[in-house]
Structure 1
Amino acid sequence: MRATVQDVMTTDVAAVNQNDSFHTVADLLISRGVSGVPVLDDDNRVKGVVSEADLLAKEEFKERYYGDGYMPPLRARIRRTVGSEGSGFHKALGESAGALMTSPAHTTTADASVVLAARLMDKYGVKRLPVVDDSGRLVGIVSRRDLIKVFLRRDSDIERQIHEVIPGELGVSVSEGVVTLSGTVDEHSHAIKAVRLAENIDGVVAVHDDLSWKNDDIVQLPVWGGA
């Protein structure tokens, strides 16, 4: 069975209301040792996320001297525009979590697979995803660190699952998440499928293929080249 976000997420979530002050947000980030928190409305629905970077805009746009006229580097301005993060200068004027946050928030659900959560984090370049229910209310949060937990599965659990998903009497050994498949199967295609099935199991770091086969049923296409 695939691991889901619910299996690894944190339910004791540090969060702020959209009306909470700048000081409240800063205090929570420091006291809880986190770099960002979800921002909620009065119905506990996720409206956005506020991070250390959002708060630092307050310092970034302070003038070092009169007439400084600071302008962020072009790359930073493009990132904010494309990523819908809003204006750094606008955030520098913010006094509440709602004015400081990045919105809309990228979220996931408890029943989503850890694979999907990892893809969302990679797609949007974020370190955490608020977990919401069908009404958009906060039920937890999942971080990159949480997703790594799937690689801490016991070798015996991984080995048992491999035997469940791959038919036949193959040799299976697992050491610190690295799987070795051995033995003989009827068809070359069966060996390929067995390796792919093992690779897709949660917690598998790599698969070493020591399989052999009786019949090579893989069609070899001719290599066209020429002089």
Structure 2
Amino acid sequence: MKHQKVCDLMSDAVVRVQRGTPFKEIAHLLQEYDITAVPVVDEEDRPVGVVSEADLLQKMWGSDPDGSPVQEERPRPGGGKAFATDAAGLMTSPAVCARESWSVVDAARVMARQGIKRLLVVNDAGRLIGVVSRSDLLRVFLRTDRAIRTEIIEEALVNGLGLAPSSVQVDVEHGHVVLSGPLPDRVSVPELEEHCRRVDGVVAVEFRVAGEAAAGSSASGPTRRPG
């Protein structure tokens, strides 16, 4: 399957700072652009870290609520971040990055594994060219049912499994795929369903053997019922 690429979904308008950017300037940028984090880049525009709202808030832990200094022997959340004055001291490093050629599946896996909401996107030279967020990746589920159905027929049935386009009835409604009809012995139901799940925008896949009613309608018109 030809999954959409990170470069197709990312935002290329990226606010960035350098290691020496002061604390207050970073705070102003987050507020001005209504963002929750900003990448830190080196002199060649390569990401070296990220400063988030959480990093800035650790400044509040530099003293007790009554204003008395934190004792040196008392553990400090985030270590020196509570006393940092620029991006170099505030940032979380290294930055987690995605290549522009990654698929949306690759990006989603890294986000889930790292427990993060966004990935910095770099080109082959490692320079920052964009940022992709969870909400950007979710845009694949905005594909029309007609586009999903077409790709299932062309990529999953014909190219993937070597079936004729009309060999399996394909109906799609709100991303829910219903397959029906007889299958050749060389193709199993789990194999067919797995090929369909790989198509961007698919929410669920269901196979119904000939004789069962396939409820609902698809982007191609009313569902045909076997028999």
What TM-score range do you get, normalising by the shorter chain? 0.7 to 0.9
Are residues 1:122 and 2:112 paired?
yes
Give the deviation of 1:35 after TM superposition: 1.1
Instruction: Say yes or no: does 1:173 pair with 2:171.
Output: yes
1:57 aligns with 2:55: no
Q: Amino acid of the residue matched to residue 190 of structure 1? A: S
2:207 maps to 1:209:
yes
Aligned pair 1:195/2:196, yes or no? Answer: no
Are 2:62 and 2:70, in contact at CA under 8 Å, matched by a contact in 1? no
Q: Percent identity?
A: 39
State the 4+ residue runs in structure 1 displaced beyond 3 angstroms. 67-72
Please report the TM-score for the alignment, with normalisation by the length of structure 2: 0.82
User: Does residue 133 of structure 2 align to residue 143 of structure 1?
Assistant: yes
Taking the aligned partners of 2:201 and 2:188, their CA distance within structure 1 comes to: 22
When the two structures are aligned, how many residues end up with a matched partner? 199
Q: Are the aligned partners of 2:171 and 2:177 in contact in 1 as well (CA < 8 Å)? A: yes
**What residue in structure 2 maps to residue 7 of structure 1?**
8
Q: 1:60 aligns to what SS in structure 2?
A: helix
Task: Tell me the equivalent position of 1:89.
Answer: 79
CA RMSD of aligned residues (A): 1.8
| Contact kept in structure 2, 1:9 and 1:146, CA below 8 Å | yes
Change (3 A) 1:46 1:60: same
Offset, 1:24:
1.1
Give the TM-score normalised by structure 1.
0.82
TM-aligned CA deviation for residue 38 of structure 1? 0.9
Give the corresponding residue for 2:221.
Answer: none
Question: What is residue 34 of structure 2 aligned with on the other side?
Answer: 33
Q: How big is the shift at 1:108?
A: 0.5
Give the superposition deviation at 1:67.
Answer: 6.0
- Please give the per-residue CA displacement for 1:98-146, whole angstroms capped at 9, x wherever unaligned: 1110000110011001111111111111111100112211000001111
Contact 1:57 1:89 in 2 (8 A): no
Structure 1 unmatched runs, 5+: 73-86, 213-227
Deviation of 1:188 after TM superposition, in Å, equals 7.5
Whether the 8 Å CA contact 2:50–2:91 is kept in 1: the answer is yes
Q: Which amino acid aligns with 1:196?
A: E
Contact 1:158–1:203 at 8 Å: present in 2 too? Answer: yes
Unaligned runs of 5+ in 2: 158-162, 211-227
Find the aligned partners of 1:10 and 1:117 in 2 and give their Cα distance.
Answer: 14
Aligned residues of 1:10 and 1:142 also touching (Cα < 8 A):
yes
Equivalent in the alignment of 2:142: 152
User: Are the counterparts in 1 of residues 18 and 87 from structure 2 also a CA contact under 8 Å?
Assistant: yes
Say if 1:188 and 1:210 are closer, same or farther in 2 by CA, change over 3 A. Answer: farther
